[in-house]
Amino acid sequence: MRIEKLIVKDFRSHSLTKVNFTSGINLIIGQNGSGKSSLLDALLVGLYWPSKPKDLRKEEVLRAGGKSTEITVFFEKDGVKYQLHRNITRGMAFAKYYDGSSWKHATETSQKAVRDWMERLVPYDVFLNAIYIRQGEIDAILESDESREKVVRQVLGLEKYENAYRNLLEVRKEIERRIKSTEDYLKSTENLDELIVEMERELSNALKEINELSPQIPKLEKELEGVERKLKELDALEKEINSLRLEVKEREGNRKRLETKLEELEKRIAEGRQRLHELEDRVKEFQRLKEKAELYLRLSDFRRRYVDEKARNEKLAENYRAQISAIEERLKELSELEKRLRGLEKERDKLERKLKGLEKDARAYEDARSLSSQLEDLRKRLKLSRGEIEKFIEEIEDAKKRKEEIQAELNEINGERGGLKNLARERNRAIMELKKAKGKCPVCGRELTEKHRKEIIAKYQAELKDVSQSLKELDERERELRSELVKIEKILKRERELIRQKELLDQIAELEERLKGYDLEELRKKAEEYEGVKDELSRLEGELESTKAELEKAKALEKKRTITGEKLRLIEERLRKLDEELKEMGFSEIGELDEKLAELEPSYKRYLELRNSEEEFEREKSNLDRLKLELEEVKSSLDAESRALKERMDELSKKEKLYSMEEHEKTREAFASLREELAGKKAQLEALERKRDETMENLRKLKEERERRKEKAKELEELKKARDRVQELREKVRRYKAMLKEGALAKVGEIASEIFEELTEEKYSGVTVKAEENKIRLGVIYNGKERGLGFLSGGERIALGLAFRLALSLYLAGEISLLILDEPTPYLDDERRRRLVDIMQRYLRKIPQVIVVSHDEELKDAADRVIRVSLENGVSVVKEVELGV
């Protein structure tokens, strides 16, 4: 897999970012918080959303102020180009592949379909464990032997073998379960042949009984049909007689009810006439009291309104008078504040003049403090004295001269080696020709004798031996020179740091010289006085502002007093009008009105008692008319019911003469007996036929079961063979996993040793990796002895963790084409970061594409392509950096 392009929109701090990736080492660099690691998160989200990564949620990825989070990843795998797009906010996604002429959809356009497709192409666990080295993974390696073992299992893919080992156990258990089930089945079906013979005998008996019973049923059916016809005739006559009897009884009841209702209606009409006469007297009394009741209501309403409005307005008037009094008191207080304001303004002018005089000294003190802080910072960064720097510079100059000498000598060695190899080829070719030659010698042209042949071959072989010895000596000298060259390179790598240290010394001297021109103690006193005056002036200005604000309130208070006075006048006018209205009603005070209301109250209460009398009179009159009409209808119904009753009684007498209950009962008994006998015969026949069918079906199943039993016996033998094969395969998987882990850890240990030696300047001569049950122990070789992690310093522990994790990925370099490193340099010191550059150049180039995210500028020296991320106005901006800049 190789990443070609990443396009991110409204993701965290990225508004619209496009990043192109090439083969080789791609470095994404920027300060912390600039948004560089967000690009890796966007890559994970783009490839595996929504189920992975689990620690990211939709609401966390949308940029503040953004509208829609979108991610597009272009990548190549196994020679095919792919494009994967997701709109996280809208829940949309698609995956496409390029067929050489156009882009075509690889799966359905949904988040789940695209996620499942990507999991099949590159599983998430493979991507996260083999391809992507996260920030916290180095710490996990160092945390414990158990956590280190977990990382190794994930990266090397050992879990799939462990899963296979466990799954094969489950397969074996399933096979054993099926063997047990099959054996139980065969044991339970041993007597099948005996059951089949018994079933065939039962079938023969059932067929014989069916043939004897079948002719009897039609005879019984014909006899039952004649009895049933006669029974139906008698049933119909009985039903008709019963119906007439019921109707006669019902009509007799109806006639009695109508006679009772007639008496009741005549009684209710007499009572209604008496009630109507009483209601007529109540209506006349109600009309006489109507005028007094209306006067009572009018006076009562006026009194309620008069009392409510007077009480409310008198309360408002009292409130307005209190407000006016308070306002006048406040205005008197504000007149005193004007004198205070003039005094504060004079004091402020005095402090401003003093502050202006101290301002220059305060600025000078701040400048001196800034220079002192810079000087302190530079001194902390300084690690060497000027004498040490000059000494190291001399060493570096000597190293440069010696490097040139070594390079010249190596060139001479290469030339000399080439001449010796050419001579060796010539002598070997001559020996081959001599061995084949006949007649004349191919070397000197003389007659070739066997003695002469042997002499020349011996001579050339001696020369080849001398050439071989010379080549060995040249190789040994080259190894010595290259070993010396490695040490010289270590010295030359310090040149950049020495230049920085020299620049620091020059800056320190310049700052010390500038600080001599300041009297820091005097300036400090002036600065403190300046701050004191500044605080006092700030307090005074605050008091001035509050005093002015208070004086501004005077105008508002005068306006409020005028408005409140006008409101009071209106309230008093309303109270006067209420008293005038009382007099217009004919009362000089409220007490007279109360006396009048007490006088009218009894008439009003009687009026209320009689207010429904008119409606009751009309209702009673209407009810009486209705009762009279109902009386006439009942008389008419009673006559009709009497005539109908006589007709039904005559008809019933005729039907009873035609019916005999004794004959009816005999016919019913004969019908029941025949029907019961017929039903028994039919039930017996059905039972026999059902038994026949069941026996035939059971017989068929038993014969099929007999054939199935033969197949099960064969299947049992195959299952036993399969169980043995699964157990054998399970053992092979266990042995292969152990061999793979042992071999992989040995190779990883070799690679980690090389990297760790370089990171620690060859202080340690190797790394030991030992696998135990659920543990992987790490150690180092120091002075020929193995040491534990507790022997290492903090920086060395980090270097070892980084070396071990890089070794895991480099072990897989032949299987993976992409490696992603997220911040590989945290906690590494300057020297180890510089060494990491060399390691990346030598080792990581074995992997076709590497993407590194870091804030360390030094890693640019190892990169083929540099992408810088910065934060501008809260938005991440991505720019490509030219190498060497």
**Residues marked as binding for Zn(2+)?**
441, 444
Q: What angle is formed at CA 606 by the lines to CA 604 and CA 608, rounded to 5 degrees?
A: 70
The pair of three-digit structure tokens given for residue 488, joined into one six-digit string: 């010289």
DSSP letter (8 states) at residue 838: H
Element containing residue 443 per DSSP (H, E): none
76 neighbors 98 (Cβ within 8 angstroms): no
430 neighbors 443 (Cβ within 8 angstroms): yes
CA distance 379 to 512: 11
Long-range pairs of 310-319 with CB within 8 A, sequence gap ≥ 24:
310/575, 310/578, 313/571, 313/574, 313/575, 313/578, 314/575, 316/567, 316/571, 317/568, 317/571, 317/572, 317/575
**CB environment 333-357: b (16+ within 10 A), e (fewer):** eeeeeeeeeeeeeeeeeebeeebee
CA distance 582 to 589: 7
Strands 766-772 and 775-782: antiparallel
Among candidates 783, 858, 778, which has minimal Cα distance to 825?
858
Length of the chain (residues): 885
Farthest-apart Cα atoms in the chain, separation: 180
On the 0-12 / 13-18 / 19+ scale of CB atoms within 10 A, 413 is: middle
CA 54 to chain CA mean position, Å: 7
CA distance 630 to 627: 5
Which residue positions form the known binding site for ATP? 12, 32-38, 135, 791-796
Phi and psi angles of residue 215, each rounded to the nearest 5 degrees, phi first: -70, -20
Which residue positions form the known binding site? 12, 32-38, 135, 441, 444, 791-796
429 to 415, 435, 704: CA distances (angstroms): 21, 10, 85
Cβ count near 812 (within 10 Å): 19
CA distance 38 to 60: 12
Among candidates 228, 219, 226, which has minimal Cα distance to 678?
219
Token look-up 């008091």 returns 543
Please compute Rg for the chain using Cα positions: 59
Quick check: helix, strand or coil at residue 172? Answer: helix
Element containing residue 94 per DSSP (H, E): strand 92-98
CA distance 867 to 883: 10
Spatial strand order of the sheet with 766-772 comes to: 766-772, 775-782, 785-787
